Amino acid sequence: MSVAAAFAGMRSVAPVVFRAGCPDCRGRCELAASALRLVIGASSRTTFYSFTCPDCGAAVRKPAGERIVELLTGGGVSTLRLHSTL
């Protein structure tokens, strides 16, 4: 079954929701694009995404690989680029 078919009976415009795990309370939360922030640094070590856990309020920061960066930017998450293009 395609994704489109699976959602055919639901609202036509579904908000983009990302699933993330919280290391503090070990809960899994669903976050809207507006709740996430992506920071792209000069290397993969300084590229991460952050959010505030809706369950325990912890500020969570996790490394973001190439696929996650694509996923988040494609989903409308606000992105901050730290490195210059020089």
Is residue 25 close enough to count as binding Zn ion by CB under 5 A? Answer: yes
Is residue 55 close enough to count as binding Zn ion by CB under 5 A? Answer: yes
Minimum distance between the CB of residue 52 and Zn ion, rounded to whole angstroms? 9
**Euclidean distance between CA atoms 27 and 12, whole angstroms:** 29
Closer to Zn ion by Cβ: residue 11 or 26 = 26
Closer to Zn ion by Cβ: residue 42 or 56 = 56
Is residue 53 close enough to count as binding Zn ion by CB under 5 A? Answer: yes
